[in-house]
Structure 1
Amino acid sequence: MGLLSQLKQEYKTLSIVGMAKNAGKTTTLNYLIEEAMDDGVVLGITSTGRDGESTDLVTGTDKPRVFLDAGTIVSVPVKLYELADAGLEILRMTNYSTALGQMMLCRVAESGYVQIAGPVNTKDHKKMCQEMIDLGAELILIDGAVDRKSIAAPETSDAIILATGAVLSRSLKKVVEETVHILSLYRLPELEPGVFRDAILSNREAEKIMLMKQGKIEVLDLKTGLSASRFLDEAIDEETEYIYMPGAFTMSVIADIHPAKLKNVQFILKDPTKIFMDALPWQQLRKKGFSVKVLDHIEVAALTVNPYSPAGYSFEHEELLKAMRDAVEDIPVFDVKVGGGV
């Protein structure tokens, strides 16, 4: 069974997230588009930025273009409409505005290459995806072209496909370790329903650090833990059970908190994309008893691996595939270049 056949049974919207540039994100997108063409699945295609151009606008390197089959629903801003090789039928002028002009929803009338883009705002993206489904799309693929962290956020889509590969390191072991680290963050346990979760959700607009002590909620006049580590240390006492951190979580957030206090409280984060920490310091922190949960974890539907790096080195694809599958046994792993299924 192909990757798309598995995914469309469970999800309506999927974000494709690259761990780094040249990890194989656009190649994964094209692979899924080809499968949809073979299976007769009507796709909706959009992006968090811009994709489908032949040259990377940042690095100047060649990029895979995006070829769409007739019947596909695609989001295209006004300024990219004329650049499409495909014949596009405009279905709807939306209210979503971008730097490339007003966003249009189009149906591909004649197959060809298309440069795609979409709203950067998450709420607008969600609304637009629903519009594409209303227009007949059976599965929405969202290309994470701008910010690889934010596009993974759980409110963006039902699940993500994570693209990883040789571009991360010349060491196969390190590629696997870094990928497993990100997966472990994305799959952190969620805070169970209860008093503290209700308190956080009812105060989300304020987005301030919150503590729970013996069932009572204390709101600190701090919107981020950055540069506030010593204030947190003062606020935490033996009665503190939970701490909600609405912003970014880095080592500096907890640098001045006494190690004994760290072991006795549970940190709560909005979602895993708020964590900015490499594998080694994260593992060291967890070994010291640090405990963390999230309001919403990230569903990882599949993992794709790219054995080639633009730096000129590569891994043997079967070796990379096996190493990754051994490390993440419960997630489907594909090498889309060779059509490697589960």
Structure 2
Amino acid sequence: MALLDLFGSEYRIISIVGMAKNAGKTVTMNHLIDEVAEKSLCVGVTSIGRDGERQDIVTKTDKPLIHLRKGSLVATAEMLFNLSEVKMEILEVTAFHTAMGRVIIGRTLSDGFVQVGGPTTNRAIREVSEKLCAYGANYVLVDGALDRTSSASPAISDACLLSTGAVVSRDMNKAVDQTIYRASLFQLNAVESSMLEEAWEIAETNRKPVIVSKDGRKKILFDVSTAIGAGKAIAEAIEEDTTSIIIPGALVTQTVMDVIQTVRDFWNITWIVGDATKIFIEHKDWLYFMRIGVIVKVRYEIKLKAITVNPYAPAGYFYDSELFVKALQSRATDLPIVDVMR
């Protein structure tokens, strides 16, 4: 199956998010790069963090390299621009700074390998990706760094792929559970209410939680600096006719726990966060919340188009690819599951 066909012309900026290091993100990226080239289209690549080095700087294991065709576009830090094996024409030295220097946009002058390290903030990555589109990229691929599922955020990309693999756990069933959990978060429904959309704008502007009542009244919690650790303050602000809690930042387990332990009718209240990358709740806690009736929605949906799998782990163990794919597919029936190593 051609992964690129999942995106068509509607989704141009695509992030590749890994469940862990060595889950197959770079293999997936190279697969997409080849598919773009086969269609005689132009690809642009960038990354949150660093990628494309021959050896992982953390685990010291060999890594697949990012290989680009002549005429491709790259946004990478100054130091990595100079370390890349392919020669590149400099198109722009941007105003974005990283620990490895300014981010440079270049065009490859031949086929070859590149090292990629882009900006570290969502806004900067989005702006750089849009610059790559302006320079002629039909598709921009954003490689997410370790534990940076934020690259899946709609603030960065139009759609995403989730990469998982044996590296997640020696126990295949545990890897399947964790992957399906992450995928389910990425598929949370967006709010469909003009009243709640207006409340979201207020929360985002003030960077404060907002309590919304049935009649549309909105209470801004100005005394709360962040929702983290503020569960009790949020619970105290809830009234009998409260219908929604708007959280402009991160949603963590303890915040939800503090509210449900205090508010009797918590199942009548919807929690709303920006997008699924802002949810930091362990799988077992999420299952508990769902079982007792906690409702969580997002303001902006993530467009998860497929799950890619790598059945091999650097530690030397591996899964049966067919069993792994079938196990994932049986629980994610609406998503294509693709073994990129094949």
1:127 alignment partner, SS class: helix
Q: Any conservation in 1 of the 2:16–2:144 contact (CA below 8 Å)? A: yes
1:54 alignment partner, SS class: coil
Aligned positions of 1:226-241 closer than 5 A = 226-241=228-243
Q: Once the 2 structures are TM-superposed, how far is the Cα of residue 267 of structure 1 from its aligned partner?
A: 1.1
1:161 alignment partner, SS class: strand
CA distance in 1, matches of 2:315, 2:277: 28
CA distance in 1, matches of 2:257, 2:81: 50
Q: Corresponding residue for 2:310?
A: 306
> Which is further off, 5-14 or 163-172?
5-14
Q: Does 1:264 align with 2:265?
A: no
Distance verdict in 2 for CA 1:251–1:81, change over 3 Å:
closer
Q: Corresponding residue for 1:319?
A: 323
Q: Corresponding residue for 1:245?
A: 247
Q: Once the 2 structures are TM-superposed, how far is the Cα of residue 143 of structure 1 from its aligned partner?
A: 0.7
> Which is further off, 218-227 or 15-24?
218-227
Q: Corresponding residue for 2:7?
A: 7
Which of 313, 333, 336 matches 2:337?
333
1:233 alignment partner, SS class: helix
Give the unaligned 5+ runs of structure 1. none
Q: C-alpha root-mean-square deviation of aligned residues, in Å?
A: 1.7
Q: Any conservation in 1 of the 2:203–2:247 contact (CA below 8 Å)? A: no
Q: Once the 2 structures are TM-superposed, how far is the Cα of residue 141 of structure 1 from its aligned partner?
A: 0.4
Q: TM-score, normalised by structure 2?
A: 0.93
Q: TM-score, normalised by structure 1?
A: 0.93
1:89 alignment partner, SS class: strand
CA distance in 2, matches of 1:134, 1:256: 47
> Which is further off, 256-265 or 107-116?
256-265
Q: Once the 2 structures are TM-superposed, how far is the Cα of residue 318 of structure 1 from its aligned partner?
A: 1.1
Q: Once the 2 structures are TM-superposed, how far is the Cα of residue 165 of structure 1 from its aligned partner?
A: 1.3
Q: Corresponding residue for 2:219?
A: 218
Q: Once the 2 structures are TM-superposed, how far is the Cα of residue 256 of structure 1 from its aligned partner?
A: 2.8
Q: Write the deviation string for residues 99-152 of structure 1: whole angstroms up to 9, x where unpaired.
A: 211222111111111111211222222222222112111110011125522212
CA distance in 1, matches of 2:103, 2:196: 40
1:75 alignment partner, SS class: strand
CA distance in 2, matches of 1:327, 1:151: 24
Q: Any conservation in 2 of the 1:189–1:293 contact (CA below 8 Å)? A: yes
CA distance in 1, matches of 2:266, 2:147: 31
CA distance in 2, matches of 1:37, 1:243: 46
> Which is further off, 3-12 or 98-107?
3-12
> Which is further off, 255-264 or 328-337?
255-264
Paired letter, 2:294: F
2:79 alignment partner, SS class: helix
Q: Corresponding residue for 1:254?
A: 256
CA distance in 2, matches of 1:181, 1:315: 19
Distance verdict in 2 for CA 1:108–1:262, change over 3 Å:
same
CA distance in 2, matches of 1:298, 1:11: 12
Q: Corresponding residue for 2:131?
A: 131
2:205 alignment partner, SS class: coil
Q: Any conservation in 2 of the 1:8–1:139 contact (CA below 8 Å)? A: no
